[in-house]
Amino acid sequence: KVRCDYPDCKEIFNTIKQRDDHDRATHTIPGIAYPCENCDREFDTIGTLRDHFKNNHKEYPCELCKQQVTGRKNFKQHQKGCKTSLTPQVQAENVQLLPHACSYPNCYCSYLTKAKLDSHVLHRHEIHACKKCGKEFDGYDRYYSHQRTCGNKNKCEFPGCEETFHTVKERKDHFRRVHAEVSEYPCPHCVKVFKRQGKLETHITNIHTQQTCTACNLTFKGLNSLNKHNIDKHP
């Protein structure tokens, strides 16, 4: 939730954009500017002034190296560099832990409640084994992503391609993107040509492969002929 910064205004918004739109529509007076106390810039709303202050003048303390970094963007870049440059021992000594800290090696996350810590361990560290293929994954997120495709019937029809997909659309998009150079699959028994290997195989089974009726032992050319025979003779 985002609260309006204008004095005596108690409006609360879901996003920063909604708050800024409210500032311009309700509190902005033409010709009135809000000057920054730290530089010479002026702004038409309190919200944009506040964002400017956070991005350029506010100091953020780094928990890893104890330095004060000016500006929100600079602070985020500094944090990335700190995590890679400091050794795990230094990070462990400097980081200010909350009451419930993660006990996994080289993980310095900590939380106010045990429930949030348990959720962190479940999604980031706990080992989950796939019941279909036996593969193990660190964290539920990677396990869940694997589960969605493991044993999925939406498998690529291109010969030798083992890719699987969540939906038919994803499979078709993959086929066009990766295997587009192979665009025709001619039938070896007739003049028909297909755009997919799977369609060709279905055609051969339905039209050209010999099928035997289990009820009367008659043979038919293709699954379609056998199905028609069963409907007519063995309903």
pLDDT tens-digit series, residues 172-214: 777 777 766 555 778 888 888 887 777 888 888 888 888 888 8
Summarised one tens digit per residue, pLDDT across range 114-147 is 888 888 888 888 888 887 778 888 877 778 777 7
Residue 160: domain span: 152-183
In a domain, 200, yes or no: yes
Considering only residues 93 and 224, tell me which one the structure prediction assigns the higher pLDDT.
224
In a domain, 27, yes or no: yes
Going from the C-alpha of 46 to that of each of 6, 9, 14, 42, 148, the distances in angstroms are 7, 12, 17, 10, 47
Contact criterion met (CB below 8 Å) for 48 and 20: yes
In a domain, 65, yes or no: no
Q: How much of the chain exceeds pLDDT 70, in percent?
A: 80
In a domain, 66, yes or no: no
In a domain, 75, yes or no: no
CA dihedral sign, ordered 103, 95, 53, 5: positive
Whether 110 and 136 share a structural domain: yes
**Confidence band for 159, pLDDT divided at 50, 70 and 90:** confident
Average pLDDT over residues 154-162: 75
**Confidence band for 90, pLDDT divided at 50, 70 and 90:** low
- Total domains present in the chain: 4
In a domain, 179, yes or no: yes
Going from the C-alpha of 131 to that of each of 26, 146, 165, 172, the distances in angstroms are 57, 11, 18, 27
Position 28 scores a pLDDT of 65
In a domain, 17, yes or no: yes
Please give the model's pTM, rounded to 2 decimal places.
0.33
- Mean pLDDT of all residues in the chain? 77
End-to-end CA distance of the chain: 66
